[in-house]
Structure 1
Amino acid sequence: MKIEQLHKLFLECQSACTDTRKIKPNDMFFALKGDNFNGNTYAVKAIESGAKYCIVDEAEFNTSPQTILVTNVLETLQELASFHRTYLNIPIIALTGSNGKTTTKELINATLSQKYRTTATVGNLNNHIGVPLTLLSMTKNTEIGIVEMGANHLKEIEFLSNIAKPDYGYITNFGKAHLEGFGSVEGVIKGKSELYQFLNENNKTIFVNGNDAIQLEKTKQSNTIVFGKNTGFDVQVSFIEAQPNVSVNYNGLTIQSHLIGEYNFFNIAAAITIANYFKVDDKLIKTGIENYIPSNNRSQVLTKGSNKIILDAYNANPTSMQAALLNFEKLNDGNKIAFLGDMFELGNDAEQEHHNIIGLIEALNFQAVLIGENFNKTTSNSNKVTTFESFDDFKNKFETSKLTNSTLLIKGSRGMAMERILDLL
């Protein structure tokens, strides 16, 4: 079946789905395969659950008028998403980066949605499956699409850009993330900059943090909208303070966010700049930023008993860990303890990067509890640092009941699931 024909069938459907547990009536189900599952085997269940059509790539499961046999389900999903994007012909904003991309995406959506009907990536569905599903979630009612792109190897952003065909793009930053896949920070810069390359080659627009020298260098020949703290930029946003939350000044308006940490300043400034470009009224931009409340373990501020908790446990890498610790140091709170989990996907740099974090903690004025194999084998002579080899080891030995009237930072890579500490408090 040609992609044009498949797209006509897709337009009869409610949405695209890859999980039979989440099927809604009239969905189009894509029977994807993984290392430990074969979606083809769920074809009958998908139809019984209400799917209008089921896309399979193994002939033995093509047993119904509602099943459609293709050569490769994943490639068909990607091709259909790209065709649908062209069919809709709406502005698409893409963003990637080492840190802050999901928060920035949410802020962009919060501001643009004050004026437009937007569709944005849900959560962090930002890979070779998530990006197509995001595009297929857009409809004729969508006026602007916002697509987050993640990557841990070279050529991934290039691949996703060719699917989404963005008109606008922004890279939050270049940091020490996924070093195992990218090989080095230079590899990270090269990989993330594949978005710039696509936009350049197609004469599209790039939003640039003018206070980031690497971004300026990478985009100096581009069609750019430059923002930052300096006068003379296309958009100027001034930092006011980060305590208790980040507040900024834009066009004479004070905007008070619910985000912690000065590192969120440029995430806010990027959203303001993009909304400004799309002619969202300044007061509506303020409303969008101020109404956004972080969730999903990202920069959340919680209270448990007498303890204040900064929950930033969705993920971690050396760059984001350092930023979180330096922000924690600036808090004027009394008894402060950082609970940190191992940072993953650092390859040969893992030992040194964990050692660097411990060195930073030793220079700061709070206690730290470090959990995970990498932190545990990195020695420290400081009485500020306590290490545990695993979360179970920590749970069995650390008396969380003694934590009262304290401010706690909880951060670690996703695989550490550091939010489990909340259940112990």
Structure 2
Amino acid sequence: MTLEELHQLFLAHPTICTDTRKITKNCIFFALKGQNFNGNAFAEEALKKGAAYAIIDEEEHKTSVNCLVFDNVLETLQQLASLHRNKNKVKVIALTGSNGKTTTKELINKVLSKKYNTIATIGNLNNHIGVPLTLLSINENTEIAIVEMGANHKQEISFLSKIAQPDFGYITNFGKAHLEGFGGIEGVIEGKSELYDHLISNDKHVFMNGDDDVQQEKLKSYIKKIGFSTKDHQYYNISFIEANPFVVLEVEGHQIKTQLIGKYNFPNCCAAVLMGKYFNVPLSDIKTALESYVPQNNRSQIIDKNGFQIILDAYNANPSSTKAALENFKNMTAQEKTLILGDMFELGKDAAKEHQAIADLAKKLGFTNVFLVGEIFFQVQTPFKKLKSFNDLRSELEHSPLKKGTFLIKGSRGMALERTLDFLKV
């Protein structure tokens, strides 16, 4: 069977499943492989549960004429997604960056959906499987697709760009994330910039933060750039008003009062405003969209519980995002501030140095009630309370309950610090 013929089958059965626990009637099951599983072994089960076809790459698992054998299931999924993207008259906006990708994607989608039929990456399904699945959710009514791209090593963004073939792109920032895979901050800049490299080489449009020195340098001679800035009048000007705790910005004399905390979310809002203006969304609709967006999934959420005000930013953490969160927390008007910080992962040889820097920053900013959680933080030199594991934190707080106040909880996903909410009691 050719890729074109598979695409025709997909149009007749436009739902893709990669997990037999989530099979829907008449879907197409792609038998992907992982470190601990072989999807080929589940092809027969997928068909019995109602899948119309199963795409496999091991002939011995062909138990039905509805098992279609290709050379490589993952590559077939990626090629099908790229073909499908090309057959639809849809504008694709790709975005990547070290911090704020998912929030920015949600904000852009919120704004553009005021005028257009949009689809966007679900959650943070932004890798070599998630990007194809997003593209395959495009249908004949889709006008704009917003595709988030994640990476933890070089050439990954370049590869995803070739699959998605974006018409527009935006990089949120370049920060100290995935240093282990990228080999340092210069590697991060080089890796994330692969999106701009792809767009420039294909003469496509680039959205940019005109206040970001790296982006300024990268795009200084490129004509097809659309930027925002707080000061440079060659770009669309947006003013930062405050973040105490919620971000307020001013656009064309109108204040937009968001439900996003932290000055670090200001450029994320600006990107959504910029794209809204570019695609002719009325400013009143842009304002409504941004003001109605409420963050979820442990991303800068504000939660009131048992007399505690909690800034829950426990979805992920790296040195850049943690530094920004600490500086924002310092500037917030609140009493009895407490920090609960968890280990930051994927920092490789820089892990010890970066954790020490965060502990030093917390001290420099004047925080006194600080809990550092995790095996890496446990090694730093600091006057703060150090706890080797989450269970140690639980024991500490159950033995010595905290006073009411305002808390910042931040750590990498693997730390799952949102569990702290379960035992914050007066």
Does TM-score exceed 0.5, indicating one fold?
yes
**For residue 194 of structure 2, what is the aligned residue in structure 1?**
194
Q: Does 1:337 align with 2:338?
A: yes
**For residue 355 of structure 1, what is the aligned residue in structure 2?**
356
- In 2: Cα distance, 1:58 partner to 1:423 partner: 46
CA deviation string 1:279-316 (max 9, x = no partner): 10000000111111100110100011100000000000
Q: 244-253 or 190-199, which moves further after superposition?
A: 244-253
* Matched residues, number: 422
| Mapped contact 1:84–1:135 kept (Cα < 8 A) | yes
CA deviation string 1:105-125 (max 9, x = no partner): 000000000000100000000
Q: Give 2:301's aligned amino acid.
A: Q
**For residue 300 of structure 1, what is the aligned residue in structure 2?**
301
Q: Give TM-score scaled by structure 1 length.
A: 0.98
CA deviation string 1:170-198 (max 9, x = no partner): 00000000000000100000000000000
Q: Give 1:364's aligned amino acid.
A: L
**For residue 381 of structure 2, what is the aligned residue in structure 1?**
379
**CA RMSD, 1 decimal:** 1.1
Q: 112-121 or 224-233, which moves further after superposition?
A: 224-233
- In 2: Cα distance, 1:77 partner to 1:318 partner: 35
**For residue 408 of structure 1, what is the aligned residue in structure 2?**
407
SS, match of residue 173 in structure 2: coil
Q: Does 1:66 align with 2:66?
A: yes
**For residue 283 of structure 1, what is the aligned residue in structure 2?**
284
SS, match of residue 114 in structure 1: coil
Q: Give 2:389's aligned amino acid.
A: S
| Mapped contact 1:228–1:266 kept (Cα < 8 A) | no
Q: 21-30 or 367-376, which moves further after superposition?
A: 21-30
CA deviation string 1:58-116 (max 9, x = no partner): 11111112211111100000000000000113100000000001100000000000000
Q: Give 2:401's aligned amino acid.
A: K
- In 2: Cα distance, 1:291 partner to 1:30 partner: 37
- In 2: Cα distance, 1:61 partner to 1:18 partner: 16
The offset of 1:388, in angstroms, is: 0.4
Q: Give 1:290's aligned amino acid.
A: E
CA deviation string 1:108-143 (max 9, x = no partner): 000000000100000000000000000001111111
In structure 2, relative to structure 1, the CA distance for the partners of 1:5 and 1:188 (3 Å cut) is same
SS, match of residue 294 in structure 1: coil
Q: 179-188 or 45-54, which moves further after superposition?
A: 45-54
The offset of 1:251, in angstroms, is: 1.2
| Mapped contact 1:307–1:403 kept (Cα < 8 A) | no
- In 1: Cα distance, 2:50 partner to 2:88 partner: 26
**For residue 368 of structure 1, what is the aligned residue in structure 2?**
370
The offset of 1:149, in angstroms, is: 0.2
TM alignment of 1:113-262, pairs within 5 A: 113-222=113-222, 223-262=224-263
The offset of 1:401, in angstroms, is: 6.7
TM alignment of 1:316-331, pairs within 5 A: 316-331=317-332
- In 1: Cα distance, 2:234 partner to 2:399 partner: 49
The offset of 1:22, in angstroms, is: 1.6
Q: 265-274 or 357-366, which moves further after superposition?
A: 357-366
Q: Give 2:97's aligned amino acid.
A: G
SS, match of residue 337 in structure 2: strand
Q: 164-173 or 215-224, which moves further after superposition?
A: 215-224
**For residue 99 of structure 1, what is the aligned residue in structure 2?**
99
- In 1: Cα distance, 2:411 partner to 2:48 partner: 41
Unaligned runs of 5+ in 2: none
**For residue 23 of structure 1, what is the aligned residue in structure 2?**
23
SS, match of residue 260 in structure 2: coil
Q: Give 1:170's aligned amino acid.
A: Y
CA deviation string 1:193-228 (max 9, x = no partner): 000000000000001100001101011122100111
Unaligned runs of 5+ in 1: none
| Mapped contact 2:398–2:423 kept (Cα < 8 A) | no
The offset of 1:397, in angstroms, is: 2.8
- In 2: Cα distance, 1:409 partner to 1:38 partner: 41
In structure 2, relative to structure 1, the CA distance for the partners of 1:17 and 1:258 (3 Å cut) is same
**For residue 53 of structure 2, what is the aligned residue in structure 1?**
53
- In 2: Cα distance, 1:95 partner to 1:406 partner: 37
**For residue 41 of structure 2, what is the aligned residue in structure 1?**
41
| Mapped contact 1:239–1:247 kept (Cα < 8 A) | yes
| Mapped contact 1:25–1:49 kept (Cα < 8 A) | yes
- In 2: Cα distance, 1:110 partner to 1:25 partner: 30
